[in-house]
Structures are given as structure tokens and as C-alpha cells.
Structure 1
Amino acid sequence: MGEVALRGFGWRHAGRKAWAVRGVDLRIAHGERVLLLGPSGAGKSTLLAALAGLLPEDSGEAEGTVEIDGLDPRKARERVGIVFQDPETQLVMSRSGDDVAFGLENRGVPAGEIWPRVDEALHRVGFGYGRDRPTGALSGGEQQRLALAGTLALRPGLLLLDEPTANLDPAGAALIRGAVTRALGDDTTLIIVEHRVAEALTLVDRVVVLEPGGGVRADGPPGAVFAAHGDRLADEGVWVPGHPVAPRQARTGPGETLVRATAVTLRDRLGPATLTARAGEALAVTGPNGAGKSTLALLLGGLLKPTSGTIEAAPGGSPHRWRAADLTARIGSVFQDPEHQFVTHRVADELALGPRRLGRPEAEVGRTVDDLLDRLRLAKLAGANPHTLSGGEARRLSVATALATAPRLLVLDEPTFGQDRRTWIELIDLLARLRDDGHGIVAVTHDEDFVAALADSVHRLARAA
């Protein structure tokens, strides 16, 4: 089982003029392994959601047909397993083992089989804790491994993976690819959306490229697709192997200190960390999943109070003690999960929120919004609900909201997550210009290409003992 058939399929989110995906004719046979490519916003995640039967009829407009083994996807859900871009949306229990067992219990798996299958799935994905680990204590990458374990434990005939290694360090990403390889039976069909194209090619035997706005651009063996379409695909944003990106070196050296952390800790989430972020410098914070990188970003951004140690920011004081308006004007934060910082129902309103809270004139607010919509390729989405954006679009909006108040220091958690090659380059260029204009950049990242292209210095965190 696991045969997929789409005939003229399209989907438009409620309230949107443009179709998220349209005119897709595609057939995938039992046991095929397919890499689904396309620029950010081409509809890859929407297509996976359709195959999983997760597009409610009242949330948009559909056309064409989608079938799994001849069935409507909503009637074939037990045959399909999916791992989303944001693993937190799949975690429903407070203990890790219970979370993996949840799906098995819902499907009526005999009690004696559940825990052996839970333990097997946790082992396959390299989950470093036992069943009792609280899900709330997991890093984003660890959550992603747990979500995959819960899906693999169900032994689906069709496995859908939406950026399964996006929040993982390189070692963790390799573990996930190995887990997927071991989990795939001869009859298991795989469809994967993955920006790490070179690494994903070890899992697949076919590449399908979606055309933004309608249909399939290319379909065939990886070598043939990239030989015939590689240059054009790279220009349009697909991460085609063999197309390197030139580094953006700083024009001048670093300036004054913007924030300094000294032996800062937060309970069991972060061991002692000491670092300095300066104006005119891009600092990359790297390290394995669970080392506390996202926690450090929240501390530097003044959004958490440290358990011990000190954080001092120019022109003085601890950021967590500042008034909200002062913090917004001086430090911009971009969270690992973009949706966590969206509070309005329109993209343009999201960008206007920060400047308005600072009391800036409405004409200035309008100019700021228009400029950011243009620079971050969001102009066509100005009236869209932020929660209907693709992963790449949501990430660009989260960066834009941080830029809207023109802070001297930007603290970004996985800023390049979900970007295609074109928007990735544009984001790097934007951050490089900000750095060269005197802003400080602190970026938590697993993206080695990002570090090579932009970072002036690197601070590596070790996993807390």
C-alpha cells in the first residue's frame, strides 16, 4: 500500500487570492522514494497536508482529486504517517514514551506490543533519553526526533516527511536519515520535502519539482532532473548540489559591545556560557541539540531571567529588567518557531505592530511596512493570515517583524530554516548589510552554509553535563 494519485489537484487557503498549489498531476507507485522540491511558497507543505488528509473542507477551496490507494486521504489516514515542519504541533503527552505510544493506543495495537515498538522507534531515531523524559524539556531538534519516532512506530505504508532534519545538528540529521532508511520496508512509499538536497538524495530515487502557481516543473531520476534543469532551478531557489554560495565578508571590524553574557545559566537547560556580541559583527552560536542554544538566545534577547551569571547590554543594565518598549527598540528577537510570535491576523499588521507600540507616526509605520514587505518578498502576502504562510514565508515574516523597530542587536534562532536558495541568499545579503551598517547579529544555527557565508565569529556550546 502507499500508492498516490493526484489529478489536477489545487488548494487555496480561505481568504487568499492566490492558490497555494494548483494543477498538480502526479502518480507515485508503491515503494517509490520521492524528493519533492520547489521554491518557498510553491505548495510543498500544502501538498503533504493534502496527502495526509489534513486540509479541512471549511478552511479553503479545493479542486481536482487526491487518492491514497484509491481512497480519499481522510479515509486512508491509518495508512499514512507524517512529520511536520514544526514537531511541537505533534507532541500531545507530557512524557516522551507516552507520546510515542499515543498513536499506537489510538489504533488499537495490542498492549503487549506497544512498549517494545516504542523503545524500538526511540532507538532508531537516536533519542538520547528514556521514556520518562518530559517533552517540555526537549530542544527543538529533540522534539523532531520524538515526532519521527511516533510516526515510525505506526509503520505507515506512506511516510511523509516535511523538513525532518531542519532543526537538527549534522550528527542528528545523519541519525534521522539512517532511521528513515532502516524504517522503510520494500513496500513503504516515501515523499520527503527537504532543503538539504544533497543529503536527501541518499534516501530517494526520484525528484519532483513543483512549479509555483501551477503544476509540476520536472519529474524524474535526480541526475536527469538536475542535468536538464539544475541551473534554472538554482536561479529560482532550489538547493541544487554543486552550486556554492559566495561568503559575505564584513567590510570593517567589530565595534562596541552590545551585550555580554558572563557565566550565565538557566537551571538544567543551559550550562555556564560566556560570550560577547558586538556592533558590526555576526556571531554564530552552534552546538549539538540539547546544548541550550535557543535558551541562550532568549536570555540574550531579555526574554528570560538567568538562574546565575550576568547579562549586560549597552547602554547598561540587564535586558530582562527593561520595559517592553525599550527592549523592542533595542533588541529584536526571532524565535525558533515563527508562529509563536505572531499575534495579528494580517502580515502587514504584524509588521506594523512594533513601530506602532513605540508611538511612531503612522506615515513612518507605513513606509517601514512597505519596505520590509518588498525586501523580504512578502508584498503579495500583505493581507494574508500569518498562520497560513509556508514555513519559509513564516520565517521571513518573523525576521521582518524583528527588523521593524530597527534594533541595534538582532538575536535570531535558526534564521534560515525553511528557505529556498534564492530567499536564503536574500536573507544572508540583508543580514550582511545590517551588520555592515553597524548592527550586531547573533544567530543560533545548525546551518553550516550560513556560518560559512556570514559569521565573523563562532561560539560553540557543549551539551550540559
Structure 2
Amino acid sequence: MSTAPASPPVAVVANGWGWRHGSRHAWALRGLDLRIDPGERVLLLGASGSGKSTLAKGLAGVLGGDEGESEGALLLNGAAAANARGRAGLVLQDPDSQVVLARVGDEVAFGCENLGVPREEIWSRVREALHVVGLDVPLAHSTSALSGGQKQRLALAAVVAMRPGLVILDEPTANLDPDGVRQVRDAVTRVLDATGATLVVVEHRVDAWVPLVDRVVVLDQGAVIADGPPETVLRERGADLAAAGVWVPGHRATWPRRATTAPGEVLLSGRGISVERVRGTTVAQVPRVQVRAGAALAITGPNGAGKSTLGLTVAGLIPPGSGVIEASAALAAGQTGVPHTWPSRALLTRLGMVFQDPEHQLLAKTVRAELDVGPRALGLSEGEIQARIDELLHRLRLERLAEANPYTLSGGEKRRLTVAAALATRPRVLVLDEPTFGQDARTWAELVALLARVRDEGSAVVAITHDLDVAEALGAERLVLQKTPREKAS
């Protein structure tokens, strides 16, 4: 960058710091003692629910007010993080959740405007930030036309333009394909080399970030259980950390046993499918798709290839632009053979959908109530409803969170909740968009084992995923989508 950052590299100090969400009895994080020196690059690890994202949000100053209660001190260069406006910039795991404006240039300028940067300086910062993250698109380019990897680099550019002394990344590559992961990691490298900013990155993809960081810190409910150079921590504590659920290179999560029976009847089939989220705009052409009972299908491919839209089409939530998805007579069971014409009640036990963003399908005020919605809509007995809920809470490690507000859960916990909510109605076809994002190694294994059990009980599992281990662990047939020429050009 041609000019120095407005903020010097930030020193982080936590003295007995903790945070409790207003609707929760248990603390998300408590008694944390930690120091990060200016310019250090720290990879923050820990099992799902260990408080990593809470710390990231605390450092960014976005916790406070009536949202909960804090104790101890969390300081940036000696000032309370909640009051250190402009010193820290946060990039979240979901690119769509942080894009506010319609044009790329306006999006990058937005933070600078809020900080009161003089207008004549803003646009030089915007161009500089886009250059350093490697996002070579016009300032007037539509933010909605960007791929997932481009949106993450856009979010990073918006942070860079504000010139913070601390860059915080909360699982920024969770929903990206391998190329998108490299793009974001390389963009972060350029930013740090240009600014000297301090880095805190929360990630489960350890392999991608180890070459960039100089320190690994592992959390467990407020305690730092490992701290040191990456090679030392991962070599000396690797087995213990893996057993606790931390993803450690060379330590593979447990896979379920292979299916022992052949796939059953075709429940859904389609030929010549044109996939459209917006009528008249084709995002993918799918010559053939089949979903079989007792089998898994993995829909893979790069960001922007239309995987999520195909998932919505298969699940009967949107119609195809051309062609037709047909249900077998056994699946239709009194409905037409065209799923997108079915009423919502008919979909409940036939086609279940887990969206990529968990918050898009949260409805209730507690975790238990969330799991109650589908079974109660089916008119099940009280005893059957509670039996299903209790089993899912146990299988997906959500028992201690049964009375918590779903919005206060970590990203990985929200994902497990939405999978459990879909399973509560026991659909014959379960479609999941990125089912394993945000999971530690232990919850990943438990979630995949549960999907394998769904498969073995005769239902169909359709997983839209960049996690190819999921496809292999489930013995899934693969449907690989490619970007259309138009998308490549964008």
C-alpha cells in the first residue's frame, strides 16, 4: 500500500475476560488470560462452542449493550475493545451476511464513511484496498454478481480500507471451494505484508493457514490449553488436540462404516434441468440427476456453479427453468409427481432442506422449541415429539443448549441445530447445503455418522458440499457442476 495504515499494529490483552449472552445462564467464555503482541499472526483453534467466535466478536467491539454481560478486561492497545472504534476490522464466515450495498466501490467505502474519513481520501483508499486483495473489478460492479471467494475478498477490502491495526477473520473460508480458500488466504497475506497489522484468524482449515501464522492458540471454554509456534503445538499436542475435536493435520476424523446394502428405488429424477434462482437467468444446466433411497448424492463444484440453487430445486422449493424434477409414486404418495407444486405440509415428511445459512431457517426462541416445530406441524403425539427431540439433542451434542436462544449459538452449533430440525420430521429425502461447515473433528464425525444412519435406514441424503471427505465418508455418488462461461467472465 502506498500510504501507512492509520492505526499501528495492535496489542491485544485479555485479563480474566468473559462474556455471557443475555438469554443464557452459562458463559460462552470466561476467565480468559491472553496477550498478543503487535504484528503477531495468530491462528485461534478449539472445539465447536469453545468461545472462538465470541472472542473474535469481542475483539471487534461488536458485543455489548443489552446483548449480554462481560467481566474482566479485553484491551486493544490499552483501550477497551468495545470503545476502540476503527482499530479492529472483522471478516465473518458468511460473505452474504456482510455485504450491505449494491456496488463494489460503495461497499468498500462504507466503513471509511462511518469512520469520518475525508471524502477526497476515501476513493484512493478504496482503489488501494481492492488492489491489495486482488479483486480486479470495476467500482460499479454489482456485489450480487460476485462469487463467494470474491465476496470474501470484498469484505476484506472493506476492512483494509479502514486501515485497522488488527484484522480478525472468523472462519472466512468456511463455505468456499479450494480455489476460493487460496484466493482469500493469499489476499490476507498481501494485506498483512503491506500493513504489518496484527492478525487473529479463527478457522477449522488448519492446513491453509499454518504457513501464514507464527503462533497457534487453542481455547477450551476460556482456558488456553495450548499456545506456541504452529509446528510445536501441532507436533507435541496433536494427538490430544485431535481427541478434543481440534482439526489437526495428519489426524483424520472417524468415518462411519460403508453402506452394506445396494441403493434402492429412484425417489427423484430429472433430465435436461435448467437451474434458475431468478426466472430467465440460468445458473446451471444439469443433463441428469437421480436421488435413490438408501444412498447419498454429493453435489460438488466451484463457488458460483449453481449448487445451492440445484439443491433448492431438488428439494421442491423452487421450480426448474426447464425440464422437470419428478418424484416416484412412493415418494409422492397422493401428491402430484412434481415436488415444487406440493404444499409445505406435504414436503415435511418427503423432502427436508437444510439451508447454507442456518439463520435463514431459525424460527423459535429456544433450541428445543426449534426442534418442536416440524413434528408438531405433523400432528404427532406429545410423547413421540419429545422422544424425537431428546434423541436429536443427544446425538448432536445440543443437550446443554436446549433452552438457549438459537441466535446465541456458535456457527457450528447453529448448523447442527438446523440439521436436527430437518431430521425431526424424518423426511425420505434430506437435502443439506454445506452440512459440515463450522464443525470440529468430533462433531463432524458425529454429524456424518448420523447422515450415514439416515442413509442406512432407507432415506436419501443429498449433500451440497466443498468438503470432499463428506462425499467419500458417505460413499456418495458425485454430481459435479461447473461454472457457465458467463459466470467465469464475471
Q: Classify the TM-score, shorter chain.
A: over 0.9
SS of corresponding position for 1:184: helix
Is 1:158 aligned with 2:166?
Answer: yes
Q: TM-score, normalised by structure 2?
A: 0.91
Deviation at 1:220, TM superposition (A): 0.8
Question: Which residue is 2:76 aligned to?
Answer: 68
Residues 314-370 of structure 1: CA distance to partner in whole angstroms, max 9, x if unpaired? 334221100100111101100000011001101001001001011111111111111
8 Å contact from structure 1 (residues 286, 293) kept in 2: yes
Structure 2 CA distance for partners of 1:16 and 1:104, relative to 1, 3 Å: same
Q: Select which of 324, 343, 354 maps to 2:374.
A: 354
Structure 2 CA distance for aligned equivalents of residues 347 and 22 of structure 1: 23
Question: Cα gap change, 1:141/1:404 in structure 2, threshold over 3 Å: closer, same or farther?
Answer: farther
Deviation at 1:246, TM superposition (A): 5.4
Shift of 1:299: 1.0
Matched, 1:275 2:301: no
Q: 5+ unaligned residues in a row in structure 1: which ranges?
A: none
Matches within 5 A, 1:69-88: 69-88=77-96
Kept after mapping to 2: 8 A contact 1:38/1:211: yes
Map 1:19-30; keep pairs closer than 5 Å: 19-30=27-38
Please say if residues 83 and 161 of structure 1, whose CA atoms lie closer than 8 Å, have aligned partners that are also in contact: yes
Q: Does 1:412 align with 2:432?
A: yes
Does residue 42 (structure 1) correspond to residue 50 (structure 2)? The answer is: yes
- 2:269·2:291 contact (CA, 8 Å) conserved in 1? yes
Deviation at 1:304, TM superposition (A): 1.2
Match of 1:263 among 253, 261, 272: 272
Deviations 1:254-295 (CA, angstroms, capped at 9, x unpaired): 211121232222143522113111111111111111111111
Match of 1:386 among 406, 423, 440: 406
Higher mean C-alpha deviation, range 134-143 or range 161-170: 134-143
User: 2-side partners of 1:442 and 1:207: how far apart?
Assistant: 35
Matched, 1:298 2:312: yes
C-alpha separation in 1, matches of 2:11 and 2:282: 44
**CA 1:219/1:246 → structure 2, altered by over 3 Å: closer, same or farther?**
closer
Unaligned runs of 5+ residues in structure 2 are 1-8, 486-490
Q: How does 1:10-25 map to 2 (within 5 A)?
A: 10-25=18-33
CA distance in 2, matches of 1:350, 1:128: 43
Q: Which moved more, 1:56-65 or 1:137-146?
A: 137-146
Report deviation, 1:442.
0.8
Q: Alignment RMSD, CA only?
A: 1.8
3-state SS in 2 of match to 1:311 = strand
Q: Between 7-16 and 309-318, report the one with greater CA deviation.
A: 309-318
Query: Is the aligned partner of 1:32 residue 2:40?
Result: yes
SS at match of 1:153: helix
Write the mapping of 1:62-211 to structure 2, written as runs, cut at 5 A.
62-127=70-135, 129-138=137-146, 140-185=148-193, 187-211=196-220
Q: Which deviates further from its counterpart, 269-278 or 371-380?
A: 269-278
**What's the CA shift string for 1:413-464, capped at 9, x where partnerless?**
0000000000001111111111111111111111122223224211111112
Instruction: Say which SS state the counterpart of residue 86 (structure 2) adopts.
Output: helix
What TM-score do you get using the length of structure 1 for normalisation? 0.95
C-alpha contact (below 8 Å) 1:250/1:456 kept by paired residues: no
Secondary structure in structure 2 of the residue aligned to 1:77:
coil
Q: Please identify, of 395-404 and 89-98, the stretch whose mean Cα deviation from structure 2 is larger.
A: 89-98
| Stretch deviating more after TM superposition (166-175 or 453-462) | 453-462
Tell me how far apart the structure 1 counterparts of residues 119 and 408 of structure 2 sit (CA, whole Å). Answer: 38
The equivalent residue for 1:229 is: 237
Alignment partners' CA distance in 2, 1:151 and 1:401: 35
What amino acid maps onto 1:206 in structure 2?
R
What letter corresponds to residue 311 of structure 1 in structure 2?
I
User: CA offsets per residue over residues 5-38 of structure 1, 9 Å max, x none?
Assistant: 0000011111212110111100000000001111
Q: How does 1:363-402 map to 2 (within 5 A)?
A: 363-402=383-422
Tell me, what secondary structure is at the counterpart of 1:6? strand
The aligned counterpart of 2:484 is 464
CA offsets, 1:172-197, max 9 Å, x none?
10011100001004631000001001
Match of 2:328 in 1: 314
Q: Secondary structure at the match of 2:281?
A: coil
Give the paired residue count: 464
The whole-number CA distance in structure 2 between the counterparts of 1:224 and 1:33 is 15
